[in-house]
């Protein structure tokens, strides 16, 4: 009773107290922005455009799933490994493509992001894990790995992906156990590892005994040039952990991705997933399975690549035409983004403030920094825009950059809720 007596319970003693959330969650700096300026043309996201979603097919297939005999099973609690029919389908498909071997298993995740999070939790829990990451790199990877206590070892990316000499040096260091690579159309640079570099990475990994994690969520968005084997296919040891997702090739809002990896890895990830969210939503998985099996996914992907090619051509032409002299940029053959470096002394964070006043949005290079700040660079996410909007947007960006170089300034903007930035 002594403790209860310490609380003042007299009528009128309850007063609204301001809680200091920073002391409740001391290490949680929010990076999801509460608002943004009204934007007309946004290069800020790496996501497919809603207007290209095959809505008729989606509605029909969702209805088929809802009417199917298995709907009760879909609505029931399931396995952390994922909805069994989709798991079987993806495993068979991966085996057929020579990606999954007999020793491999497959786990369905809430998008590739959750696979990164689960890996980060396992590695962070296991002690002193140093993780090699590309620099610049997908910001969502940095956030989860740093948040889980892993040390990051950033390795620069050149026009052909992660640099070999720097990677070799990083792997010579003590305690480096994991290498995370996005070999095709890397986010944010759009660069792709050529075959020789792929082989060299796999060989280096085998020599050093590190673990290779291959983030392969963009490889199917190839608009020109020849497809390349995944690192997992090239790795004769079969140890590579491969991450894939339906987010870039179908519907990102359904949040379905998967991991193909040796069975002991998948078992640990499934255990971690169980305690994170029990399992991924069955309905999304069942609909995506119908989408894939019906041939709609293949048709949609064909259309996506046709439109992607037009967007890519538009963004490359617009950069050539409108960016100030001294700018340079990557020349991807697919994917959703390219990396622009503007002439010094331009600072892309300052440029962003000015671009927003013109209704243009993008993510500055510092957002993708693992160590180097990339203050003079920015990511142009072209995946969600029409070629016309891309051309217009880059034209405005070029004008604002020229003005900034000339030292002129403009004014402000208001706030609207922002979407998740990927």
The contact set with ligand PLP (CB under 6 A) reads: 46, 111-113, 138, 140, 182, 187, 215, 217, 245, 247, 252, 257, 422
Minimum distance of ligand PLP from residue 358's CB (angstroms)? 25
Q: Based on CB atoms, which residue is closest to ligand PLP, 49 or 324?
A: 49
Minimum distance of ligand PLP from residue 216's CB (angstroms)? 9
User: What is the signed CA dihedral for 71, 76, 82, 84, rounded to 10 degrees?
Assistant: -50
Minimum distance of ligand PLP from residue 281's CB (angstroms)? 13
Q: Based on CB atoms, which residue is closest to ligand PLP, 217 or 318?
A: 217
Find the DSSP H helices in 126-194: 139-147, 164-172
DSSP annotation of 363 reads E
Residues 6+ apart with CB under 8 A from 138: 182, 187, 188, 215, 368, 422
Minimum distance of ligand PLP from residue 112's CB (angstroms)? 4
Minimum distance of ligand PLP from residue 117's CB (angstroms)? 9
Contact 104, 238 (CB under 8 A): yes
Q: Based on CB atoms, which residue is closest to ligand PLP, 181 or 346?
A: 181
Q: Based on CB atoms, which residue is closest to ligand PLP, 138 or 322?
A: 138
Minimum distance of ligand PLP from residue 167's CB (angstroms)? 18
Minimum distance of ligand PLP from residue 186's CB (angstroms)? 7
| Residue 60 to residues 65, 257, 273, 403, Cα–Cα distance (Å) | 9, 22, 31, 51
Q: Residue 194: count other Cβ atoms within 10 Å of its Cβ.
A: 13
Q: Based on CB atoms, which residue is closest to ligand PLP, 111 or 332?
A: 111
**Greatest Cα-to-Cα distance within the chain, rounded to the nearest angstrom:** 77
Give the tokens for residue 129.
Answer: 């894990």
Q: Residue 196: count other Cβ atoms within 10 Å of its Cβ.
A: 10
Query: Please, how many CA atoms are within 13 Å of residue 239, restricted to the half-sphere of its CB?
Result: 14
Q: Based on CB atoms, which residue is closest to ligand PLP, 78 or 257?
A: 257
Minimum distance of ligand PLP from residue 171's CB (angstroms)? 21
What residue number has its CB nearest to ligand PLP? 111
The gap between the terminal CA atoms of the chain, to the nearest Å, is: 52
The CA angle 415-420-422, to the nearest 5 degrees, is 125
Q: In a 3-state reduction of DSSP, which class is residue 343?
A: coil
Q: Based on CB atoms, which residue is closest to ligand PLP, 215 or 341?
A: 215
* Nearest partner of 138 among 328, 337, 343, judged by Cα: 337
Residues 6+ apart with CB under 8 A from 415: 34, 35, 36, 37
* Nearest partner of 228 among 195, 269, 263, judged by Cα: 195
Contact 248, 238 (CB under 8 A): no
Minimum distance of ligand PLP from residue 47's CB (angstroms)? 7
Give the tokens for residue 178.
Answer: 């994991």
Q: Is the dihedral of CA 250, 251, 256, 259 positive or negative?
A: positive
Q: Based on CB atoms, which residue is closest to ligand PLP, 91 or 336?
A: 336
Q: Based on CB atoms, which residue is closest to ligand PLP, 107 or 401?
A: 107
Minimum distance of ligand PLP from residue 183's CB (angstroms)? 11
Q: Based on CB atoms, which residue is closest to ligand PLP, 153 or 182?
A: 182
Give the tokens for residue 340.
Answer: 């622009």
């Amino acid at each position: 009773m002594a403790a209860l007596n310490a609380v003042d319970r007299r009528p009128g003693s309850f007063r609204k107290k301001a809680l200091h959330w920073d002391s409740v969650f001391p290490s949680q700096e929010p990076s999801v922005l509460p608002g943004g300026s009204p934007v007309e043309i946004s290069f800020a996201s790496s996501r497919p455009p809603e207007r290209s979603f095959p809505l008729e097919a989606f509605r029909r297939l969702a209805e088929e799933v809802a009417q199917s005999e298995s709907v009760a099973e879909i609505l029931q609690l399931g396995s952390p490994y994922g909805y069994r029919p989709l798991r079987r389908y993806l495993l068979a498909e991966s085996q057929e493509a020579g990606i999954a071997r007999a020793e491999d298993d497959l786990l369905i995740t809430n998008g590739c992001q959750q696979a990164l999070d689960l890996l980060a939790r396992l590695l962070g829990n296991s002690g002193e894990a140093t993780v090699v990451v590309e620099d610049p790199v997908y910001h969502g990877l940095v956030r989860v790995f740093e948040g889980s206590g892993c040390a990051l070892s950033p390795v620069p990316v050149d026009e052909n992906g992660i640099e070999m000499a720097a990677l070799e040096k990083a792997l010579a260091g003590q305690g480096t156990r994991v290498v995370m690579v996005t070999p095709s159309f890397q986010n944010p640079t759009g660069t792709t590892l050529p075959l020789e570099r792929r082989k060299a990475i796999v060989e280096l990994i085998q020599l050093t005994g590190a673990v290779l994690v291959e983030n392969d969520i963009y490889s199917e968005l190839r608009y020109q040039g020849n497809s390349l084997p995944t690192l997992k296919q090239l790795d004769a040891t079969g140890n590579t952990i491969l991450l894939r997702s339906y987010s870039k090739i179908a519907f990102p809002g359904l949040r379905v991705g998967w991991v193909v990896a040796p069975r002991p890895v998948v078992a640990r990830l499934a255990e971690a997933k169980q305690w994170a969210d029990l399992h991924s939503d069955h309905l999304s998985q069942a609909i995506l399975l119908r989408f894939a099996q019906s041939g709609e996914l293949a048709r949609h992907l064909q259309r996506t690549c046709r439109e992607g090619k037009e967007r890519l051509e538009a963004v490359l032409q617009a950069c050539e035409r409108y960016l100030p002299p001294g700018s340079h940029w990557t020349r991807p053959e697919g994917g959703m983004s390219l990396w622009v470096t503007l002439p010094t002394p331009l600072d892309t964070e300052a440029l962003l403030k000015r671009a927003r006043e013109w209704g243009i949005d993008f993510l500055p290079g510092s957002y993708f920094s693992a160590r180097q700040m990339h203050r003079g660079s920015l990511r142009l996410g072209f995946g969600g825009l029409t070629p016309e909007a891309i051309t217009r947007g880059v034209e405005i960006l070029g004008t604002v950059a020229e003005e900034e170089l000339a030292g002129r300034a403009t004014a402000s903007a208001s706030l609207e809720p922002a979407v998740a930035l990927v």
